[in-house]
Amino acid sequence: MAPSARLVMVEDGQVDGVWPELLRQVGEAVGCRFEVTAMPRARIEMELLNGRQVDLMISATRTEERDRRGLFVPLIHQPMVLLTRSADVGRMLSLDLLRKSAWRMAVPRGFPFSADYRALVGDLETEQRVDTVNDIDAVGRMLRAGRVDFALLSPPQAHAAAVSGLVFRRFDGPPLMEVGLYLSRQNLAPADLTLLRDALTRAAREGQVRRAFLRFYPPEVADLNQP
């Protein structure tokens, strides 16, 4: 797992957060112990697609490339949220307005999100209005410095970045994102794929994902997630 705000927290070799908590609960239910290693997000993706070390990538949105190597298990649906400076809150309420504006966008690496998101990034890249950054901290720094005007993020990412004059609000332009995890088809036996898929699906259906979020996030962030 890659460190990611309160979703995955790594300190002194210990891993905690929403997703480690969920996997611990699921593991206890099915008799499986997950071995978690901190790893950069880009390397996790590479290992899922080409390597032999990663059996599971969480969290993830669905792409055709990932589908060729892994089994996607949806857990929640999330809206995109718009992160801006507080003075700009409420100025951009739709994808159409964003496209017509002169606003520059910060895009964190390794998060393709939805097809609508990727289409917007592609459109703005042709107009040279995109700055690609390595992480969410860099998104916040560029916004505060005035080098970019907005970012579209998941609710947990925006919550982590919304400090020192930055705010976020739900953005209803794109449809809800299906967020979950990938199980490696290369490494896991068919019986294990089925066992884990069913256990994780049941955990989401029975509210374990929401309870894990509420352990680490305030209700206004957790409540943006939908089954």
Whether residues 133 and 190 share a domain: the answer is: no
Whether residues 88 and 167 share a domain: the answer is: yes
Whether residues 69 and 120 share a domain: the answer is: no
How do the pLDDT tens digits run along the chain, 227 residues long?
A: 998 889 999 988 789 999 999 999 999 999 999 999 888 888 999 999 987 789 999 999 999 999 999 999 999 999 999 999 999 988 888 888 999 999 999 999 888 898 899 999 999 999 999 999 988 999 999 999 999 999 999 999 999 999 999 999 999 888 899 999 999 999 999 999 999 999 999 999 999 999 999 999 999 999 999 88
Is 2 a domain residue?
A: no
**Residue-number span of the structural domain to which 94 is assigned:** 80-171
Write down which residue in 154, 171, 188 finishes a domain: 171
Whether residues 106 and 162 share a domain: the answer is: yes
- The CA distance from 124 to 128, in Å, is 6
Is 183 a domain residue?
A: yes
Phi-psi region at 158: left, alpha or beta (left = phi > 0; alpha = psi -120 to 50): alpha
Number of domains in the chain: 2
Is 1 a domain residue?
A: no
Strands 105-108 and 130-133: parallel
Whether residues 22 and 54 share a domain: the answer is: yes
Task: Tell me the whole-structure pTM to 2 decimals.
Answer: 0.87
Quote the crossing angle between the two packed helices 18-30 and 208-216, to the nearest 10°.
Answer: 140
